[in-house]
């Protein structure tokens, strides 16, 4: 199996329902050996559902999976491996506190009860010799940059002898350079018929540059596709959104106010391991401006957001709002009209097992449910407000009562942002607000942020997407090694220097 070509994969008329909601309807797709196939569609279109059905995470209500023209029953993801099918996700699955080598060895499904480490490591090294790219086997996963981690995830699949790789937004956590490098390597392997790839992405650029063929889903149905060269970006976009209209960009208007509303002085913060993450950080944020914080992830951004959101104590330094000391307590945040969209909102800003409606309406998601007595009585009001927000922010959910964890990734993001923006806001901190969103949703959210700014909100936009910062920010800083090492107004921005500073030079 190691050197043989990947098998052909065919999905025939697959349908998946959740209760009365049809997430996938009669979708067919063929992946010939060595093809790089992209799967496009809006948030909630059914992309993840399709691949989860193929991989045995979900069981389709109807439809067939064929591997090399034979019908197969894939009961569980472990089963999928018997047919050389492996999956790589948006978020990493390798264990941080183990080395890459340990992770790869332990991932094998038929491990003996006593592991012969010496032999295993030798065979791993021999395997690596045959790979077009390398990762440091002895390094701890926690010490690897995102791009290398994602390469290690792929190597893990190859080490498990999987030949059909299903990638669900694998580049969201990578910089554009890292993404290009990784996809380029995968593309070479598909061209040499060592691999077939089915990749979910929201990025047209990646489809055009790397994929051979594309399938486009809309509301659970296949609405188009074909060879990549035969479709323009506009063709693909209009298949994705059908007759929906996109939000028009909101133009910048008005100047910032002269007095800062948020002041950070000499801030030092440690991460969970007690390692300094934010080092002597100072800045001011003014009403009516968007301050863009550019930088590669892991340079202290999450720790900064956590301090501002009152979820982490700084070691030293002060945060002031309206010239008074601010410690991020709930009551203070409410008084100061301070709102925050952290990264990974499902983990950091929701209760996954609660309904969309409750998550959208109740800001005090982290207080015990017992405190909600009064609210719960007012069930109808909650539902009404949630329905209004769902419509305004175009959150795709089967019903307002659906548990939020069952929404597609992009729709969780929309729901949390809707909640944070639906209040009267004076200070808004957003971290990678468009992570995993489709282009329509990005247009929506960018327009909302600009409107907030024009209305006098002070916006701190922390983003790994430099294009987003350039589009929205009035002022740009670069965060590297826990501090800002560059600052410029948007009209004087020097991209070359920004790039260097992001890399820590
Ligand atoms: N376990 C589940 N229970 C109920 N509904 C679900 C479940 N899983 C998915 N859905 C619904 O199915 C629809 C399709 O979701 P899916 O995750 O496949 O979307 P997607 O195309 O991957 O979107 P995104 O780009 O945001 O990741 C969504 O409306 C989602 O709410
Ligand atoms: Mg998805």
pLDDT, tens digit (0-9, with 9 covering 90-100), for 107-159: 887 777 777 888 889 999 999 988 878 889 999 998 887 778 888 998 999 89
Residue reference for tokens 């209040």: 423
**CB count, 10 Å around CB of 325?**
9
**Nearest ligand by distance to the CA of 415:** 1
Nearest CA to ligand 1 atom 19: 44
- Tokens 């997407």 locate to 465
Nearest atom in ligand 1 to the alpha carbon of residue 410 is: 26
Q: Name the domain boundary from 186, 206, 241.
A: 241
Give the ligand with the smallest distance to the CA of 438. Answer: 1
Within a domain: 488: yes
CA of 14 to the centre of ligand 2 (A): 17
Q: Are residues 113 and 15 in the same domain?
A: yes
270 & 409 share domain: yes
180 and 310 together in one domain: no
Instruction: Clarify whether residues 224 and 92 are in a common domain.
Output: yes
Query: pLDDT value at position 473?
Result: 98
Residues 409, 275, single domain; the answer is yes
The CA-atom distances, in angstroms, between 20 and each of 16, 51, 244, 356, 402 are: 10, 20, 24, 17, 12
Within 10 A of 28 (CB to CB), how many other CB atoms are there? 13
For 185-211, the pLDDT digits (tens) are: 999 999 999 999 999 999 999 999 999
171 part of a folded domain: yes
Ligand 1 atom 24: the closest Cα is on which residue? 43
Q: What is the pLDDT of residue 363?
A: 64
Distance CA 329, CA 315 (A): 17
Q: Do 173 and 272 have their domain in common?
A: no
* DSSP string for residues in 382-395: HHHHHHHHHHHTT-
Give the closest residue to 241 by CA, choosing from 209, 212, 202, 277: 202
Same domain for 320 and 220: no
Q: Is residue 365 included in any domain, yes or no?
A: yes
pLDDT tens per residue, range 206-216: 999 999 999 99
46 alpha carbon to ligand 1 midpoint, in Å? Answer: 6
Q: How far is CA 174 from CA 182, 186, 204, 437, in A?
A: 9, 15, 16, 15
Q: Which H or E element spans position 379?
A: helix 379-392
Tell me, yes or no, whether 231 lies in a domain: yes
Alpha helices in 250-317 (DSSP H): 301-308
The 10s digit of each residue's pLDDT in 69-102 is 999 999 998 899 999 999 988 777 888 899 999 9
Q: Is residue 257 part of a domain?
A: no
Which residue among 210, 241, 272 closes a domain? 241
CA 324 to chain centroid, in Å, comes to 35
Amino acid 343: pLDDT: 76
Does 78 map to a domain? yes
Residues whose beta carbon lies within 6 Å of some atom of ligand 1:
18, 23, 41, 43-49, 396-398, 402, 406-411
Instruction: Identify whether residues 205 and 289 lie together within a single domain.
Output: no
Tens-digit pLDDT profile for residues 15-50: 999 998 999 999 999 999 999 999 999 999 999 999
- Predicted pLDDT at 188: 94
295 and 162 housed in the same domain: no
Q: Residue 344 maps to which CATH number?
A: 3.40.50.300
Q: 349 and 213 in one domain?
A: no
Q: Ligand 1: distance of its center to the CA of 405 in Å?
A: 9
312, 419: one domain? yes
Burial of 274 (0-12, 13-18, 19+ CB in 10 A): exposed
**Domain assignment of residue 34, given as a range:** 9-241
Q: Could you tell me which residue, 355 or 344, shows the higher pLDDT? A: 355
Residue 246 falls inside a structural domain:
no
Q: What are the backbone dihedrals phi and psi of residue 14, each rounded to the nearest 5 degrees, phi first? A: -90, 135
- Is 81 a domain residue? yes
- Which atom from ligand 1 is nearest to the alpha carbon of 169? 27
Query: Are residue 210 and residue 145 in the same domain, yes or no?
Result: yes
- Which of 46, 91, 344, 394 is the best mutation target for the ligand 1 pocket, counting ligand atoms within 8 Å of the beta carbon and taking the most? 46
Residue 131, CA distances (Å) to 2, 185, 315 in order: 12, 10, 45
- For the chain, the domain total comes to 2
């Amino acid at each position: 199996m190691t050197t043989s070509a990947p098998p052909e994969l065919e999905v025939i008329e697959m349908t998946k329902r959740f209760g009365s909601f049809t997430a996938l309807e009669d979708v067919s797709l063929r992946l010939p050996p060595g093809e790089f196939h992209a799967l496009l569609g809006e948030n909630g279109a059914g992309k993840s559902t399709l691949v989860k059905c193929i991989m045995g995470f979900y069981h389709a209500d109807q439809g067939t999976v064929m591997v090399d023209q034979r019908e197969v029953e894939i009961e569980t993801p472990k089963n999928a491996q018997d047919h050389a099918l492996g999956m790589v996700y948006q978020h990493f699955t390798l264990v941080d506190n183990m080395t890459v080598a340990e992770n790869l060895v332990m991932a094998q499904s038929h491990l003996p009860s006593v592991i012969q480490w010496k032999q295993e490591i030798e065979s791993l090294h021999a395997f690596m010799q045959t790979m077009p790219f390398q990762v440091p086997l002895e390094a701890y996963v926690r010490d690897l940059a995102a791009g290398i981690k994602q390469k290690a995830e792929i190597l893990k699949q190859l080490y498990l002898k999987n030949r059909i790789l299903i990638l669900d937004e694998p580049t969201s956590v990578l910089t554009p350079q890292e993404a290009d490098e990784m996809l380029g390597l995968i593309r070479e392997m598909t061209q040499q018929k060592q691999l077939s790839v089915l990749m979910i992405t929201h990025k047209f650029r990646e489809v055009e540059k790397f994929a051979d063929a594309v399938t486009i889903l809309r509301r659970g149905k296949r609405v188009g596709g074909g060879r990549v060269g035969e479709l323009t970006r506009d063709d693909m976009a209009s298949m994705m959104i059908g007759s929906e209209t996109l939000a028009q960009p909101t133009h910048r208007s008005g100047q910032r106010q002269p007095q800062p509303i948020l002041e950070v002085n000499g801030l030092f913060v440690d991460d969970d391991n007690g390692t300094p993450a934010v080092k002597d950080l100072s800045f001011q944020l003014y009403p009516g401006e968007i301050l863009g914080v550019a930088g590669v992830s892991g340079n202290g951004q999450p720790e900064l957001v956590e301090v501002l959101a009152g979820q982490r104590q700084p070691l030293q330094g002060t945060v002031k709002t309206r010239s008074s000391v601010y410690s991020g307590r709930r009551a203070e945040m409410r008084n100061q009209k301070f709102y925050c969209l952290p990264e990974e909102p499902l983990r950091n800003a929701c209760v996954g097992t609660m309904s969309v409606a409750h998550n959208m309406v109740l800001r005090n998601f982290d207080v015990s449910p017992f405190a909600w007595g009064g609210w719960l009585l007012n069930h109808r009001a909650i539902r009404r407000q949630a329905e209004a927000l769902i419509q305004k922010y175009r959150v795709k959910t089967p019903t307002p009562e659906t548990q939020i964890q069952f929404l597609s990734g992009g729709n969780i993001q929309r729901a949390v942002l809707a909640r944070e923006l639906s209040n009267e806001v004076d200070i808004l901190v957003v971290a990678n607000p468009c992570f995993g969103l489709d282009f329509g949703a990005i247009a929506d959210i960018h327009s909302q942020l600009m409107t907030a700014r024009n209305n006098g909100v002070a916006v701190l936009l922390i983003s790994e997407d430099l294009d987003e910062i350039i589009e929205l920010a009035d002022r740009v800083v670069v965060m590297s090694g826990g501090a800002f090492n560059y600052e410029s107004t948007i009209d004087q921005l020097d991209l070359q220097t920004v790039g260097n500073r992001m890399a820590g030079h």
